[in-house]
Structure 1
Amino acid sequence: MDKTAQVDPLQELKQVNQLFDEIADKPQILFAPSDSTAIIKGAKGTIIHLDPTQLQTINGSPLGEKIQIELLELNNNSSMLLHNTQTVSDGQILVSGGAYYLNMTSDGNQLKIKSGESLEVEFPKQTDEEMEFFTGARDSLGQMNWKPTNRKFISNAIDTPASVGTNPTSLPFRYYDEDLQMDLTIYDTTSTSKEFGLEVFKETYQSISLLNFGWINCDRWYQDPRPKRDVEISIKNDSVNAAIIYAVFTDINSIMEEYYWSEKKDKIAFKNIPIGKSLKIIAVSVMDESPYVFETTINTQTKNKVHIDFSPSSKAELKELIEKLN
C-alpha cells in the first residue's frame, strides 16, 4: 500500500462505523397518534409522555396522522460499544447508568419541540449512585462527547403495572412490533413482558424535561483516588489505514475510544487511567471490506503499553466478542 498517498481519516473511519451499523441492534421504531396524548414505553423501560401539541415540524408543515419515534436504549458496555458511544466528557471519564437516543418525525418530516415547551421522559433507574443528566454530540469523526446539564436524576419508585392499570380508559403504551409488522396498543405491561419479551423496569427516575431530541446519558463523574497513568497504543500492522480502539472498564459501565489513521501525528493513548484498573482493549479495522480485530485484557498496575496486531475476523465473531462484555 502506498503510504505516500493522502489518507482521508473520515473515509477510512466511515468503513469501520458502517461495520458497527451493520452489526448493532437497530433503533426501536414506535408510533403514537398525532391528535391525542399517549404514553410510549421503550423495550427497556423508557417512558415518554407525549403531547403532540408540544411538537412541530421543522419545515412548518402540519403533523401527519402518526408520530414516528426512534429510540435507542443502551444500558451496558456491549450496547454502548456497538453504537460507538464512549462515556467521556471533555476528556474526563464518566460512568453510565444508561445512554439513549430519541428522535421523532411525522410523514417523513423532522419534528422539534416547540420553543417554551418540553417533552417529559422517565428513564430507567439502574443504580443507586447519584446520577446526572448529560447530552451528547459527535464530532466530525463521529466521536461522542457528553456535556453536563447541571441537572440530577431524582429517584421515583414506580410499580409499572399499577401506574398504567388494565382499564382501557387509562393512557396506553404503544409500540411497533417489527415481527408482526403492526402497531400494538398495550394496557397491561405484565402480560406485555410475557407475551412480547419486553424488559419491564419497576423503577424509573422522575421525568426529565427535554428541550431537544438527540443523545441523552444518565451519568456520574468517575472518581478514583488512586494515581493515574496513560495506556499507550501502537499499531503493528503496516497495511492498516484506520481503526477505532476501545478501552472497556471491566467493573463499571464505562468506555473510552481512540481513533487511528496512518498519517495521524498524535500518539494514541488512553489518558488518566487509575493504576490497578482492569481494561479490555478492543481494536477494530476494515481491510478489503472485511473486519480485522484485536482484543486483550490488561491491568494498569503492570502494563501501560499495548501493541495491536490485527487478525482477520467476521461480523458474527466481532458481535459475539462485544456481546461477551456483558
Structure 2
Amino acid sequence: MTACKKDKGTPPNYAKADDVLAAHAIKQQSFTGNADAGFTITGEKGTKVTFAPNAFVDGAGNVVSGTVTVTLKEVLSKKDVLFSGVMTESNGQLLESGGEILVKAQKDGAELQVNPKLQDKGAQVEIPKVMNNGDMGLFIQERRQQGGGASGGNQQESPYTWVPAPYYPFGNGPNSYTFSLPSFSWVNCDRFYSDPNPKTTITALPAFQDNNQVSDLQVMLVFKNIATVITLPFDYTSQKFQSYQNSLPIGLQADLIILGKDSDGFIQFGTQSITIGANMHIDAPVHKATQAEVDAFLATI
C-alpha cells in the first residue's frame, strides 16, 4: 500500500527580537585624543567634530589634560531614527531632521563637559547632508513640557523632547550643517514641519496573529516624503496607541510600524502604508517575522 503526504516545507526561521534590535542598533564609535593640543574625529557616516585645545573640563570645572576618550553616535537616516529611540518631534509638533548625533567624553571613566570659557569655540561640528538638504537649525534635548501629551499627561512617552537652541550659531553649507556643540548630549539638525492641511489625531492597536503574550511594544510612523519619524505613545485613557492631539496633517503619507517581543523571544512585526485621515483608527496586523522580512522592509524607508 502507498500514500501521499503533503510536504509542509521548511518552517520559517523566525528572528529573535533581541537579534533584530542588535543588528540595527546605532553603533557607538570610540576615539582618543590629546586634550591639550586639540584633535578632530570623523565618524563612519561622515560626521566631523573638531575639539579646540583645552576644550574639556571635569565635573569641578577644571581644564583636563592628557588623553581623553570621545564616543560618537550618528543618526543620519530615517532607519537610524527608528532604532535610536530619539524621535523627530518637539512637544508633539513634527520635525524634519537633517541628522542627530550624540557625543560624549570621558577621562579615566569620569564624564567630561565642554569648556564653557571657550564659549562656542570648544567643539565644532560638521554633519553631512545625507539625510536632508533643507535649511535647518540646532535643536537640543530638554524635559518635555507638562501636559504636552495627547491626553493631558496620561501617555506613556519619553520624558525628553527636542527644543530649538537659537543661541548657537548654525551654518547651512552646500554639503554639510555646521555648528558649535553646546554640550556632550544629543543634538539635532532640525526644523518644524509646516503643512497647511488641517491637523488630526490618530490611534492604532496591534492585531496579533499569534496567541503569545507580547511586551516592549513600539508603534511608530515613518513618513514617506519628509525626514520625520515619530512614536505613538500608549494612552491609558483610550487604551490605544495615540498620536499627539491635532498634530498630524491630513493627507500625509506614512508607514505605520509595530515592533514587539513575544513570550518566546521572537520579534512581533507589522507594517501598513497609510494616508492620514481625520480621526482615523488603525487595527494593524502583527506577526512573527524573519530577519529577512524585517530587513527587506527597512530597505524601503
Conservation of the 8 A alpha-carbon contact between 1:290 and 1:314: no
Matches within 5 A, 1:242-281: 242-260=216-234, 264-266=236-238, 267-271=240-244, 272-281=247-256
User: 1-side partners of 2:185 and 2:226: how far apart?
Assistant: 24
Match of 2:176 among 165, 189, 204: 204
In the superposition, the TM-score normalised over structure 1's length comes to 0.70
User: 1-side partners of 2:133 and 2:20: how far apart?
Assistant: 35
User: 2-side partners of 1:71 and 1:137: how far apart?
Assistant: 20
Aligned Cα root-mean-square deviation (Å): 3.1
User: 1-side partners of 2:33 and 2:293: how far apart?
Assistant: 37
Q: 1:297 to 1:254 in 2, by over 3 A?
A: same
Match of 2:286 in 1: 310
Match of 1:136 in 2: 141
Question: Is structure 2 residue 297 aligned with structure 1 residue 293?
Answer: no
Deviation per CA, 1:75-107, whole angstroms, max 9, x where unpaired?
Answer: 211111011221000000000011111111123
User: 2-side partners of 1:287 and 1:45: how far apart?
Assistant: 37
1:114 maps to amino acid: N
Deviates more, 1:98-107 or 1:39-48: 39-48
1:243 maps to amino acid: L
Give the match's secondary structure for 1:53: coil
Deviates more, 1:87-96 or 1:65-74: 65-74
In the superposition, the TM-score normalised over structure 2's length comes to 0.75
Conservation of the 8 A alpha-carbon contact between 1:64 and 1:106: no
Instruction: Quote how far apart the aligned CAs of 1:254 are.
Output: 0.1
User: 1-side partners of 2:159 and 2:285: how far apart?
Assistant: 23
Conservation of the 8 A alpha-carbon contact between 1:135 and 1:148: yes
Q: 1:241 to 1:156 in 2, by over 3 A?
A: closer
Deviates more, 1:280-289 or 1:30-39: 30-39
Matches within 5 A, 1:1-326: 20-21=21-22, 23-58=24-59, 63=64, 65-117=66-118, 118-126=122-130, 127-137=132-142, 142=158, 145-150=161-166, 151=168, 153-156=170-173, 203-206=175-178, 208-237=179-208, 239-260=213-234, 264-266=236-238, 267-271=240-244, 272-288=247-263, 289-301=265-277, 304-315=280-291, 317-325=293-301
Deviation per CA, 1:190-249, whole angstroms, max 9, x where unpaired?
Answer: xxxxxxxxxxxxx3234x222311101101110010122222212334833441100110
Segments of structure 2 that go 5 or more residues without pairing to the other structure are 1-15, 145-155
Conservation of the 8 A alpha-carbon contact between 2:17 and 2:268: no
Instruction: Quote how far apart the aligned CAs of 1:250 are.
Output: 0.8
Q: 1:137 to 1:24 in 2, by over 3 A?
A: farther
Conservation of the 8 A alpha-carbon contact between 2:17 and 2:260: yes
1:108 maps to amino acid: G
Conservation of the 8 A alpha-carbon contact between 1:130 and 1:153: no
Instruction: Quote how far apart the aligned CAs of 1:26 are.
Output: 1.3
Deviates more, 1:271-280 or 1:85-94: 271-280
Q: 1:63 to 1:302 in 2, by over 3 A?
A: closer
Instruction: Quote how far apart the aligned CAs of 1:50 are.
Output: 1.1
Give the match's secondary structure for 1:80: helix
Deviation per CA, 1:43-99, whole angstroms, max 9, x where unpaired?
Answer: 222221113512123378985753222112212111110112210000000000111
Q: 1:317 to 1:62 in 2, by over 3 A?
A: farther
Give the match's secondary structure for 2:232: strand
Instruction: Quote how far apart the aligned CAs of 1:303 are.
Output: 8.8
Give the match's secondary structure for 2:82: helix
Segments of structure 1 that go 5 or more residues without pairing to the other structure are 1-14, 158-202
Q: 1:241 to 1:125 in 2, by over 3 A?
A: closer
Conservation of the 8 A alpha-carbon contact between 1:131 and 1:152: no
User: 2-side partners of 1:92 and 1:149: how far apart?
Assistant: 16
Tell me which protein shows more helix as a share of its residues: 1
User: 2-side partners of 1:87 and 1:123: how far apart?
Assistant: 17
Deviates more, 1:280-289 or 1:99-108: 99-108
Q: Give the aligned length.
A: 263
1:253 maps to amino acid: A
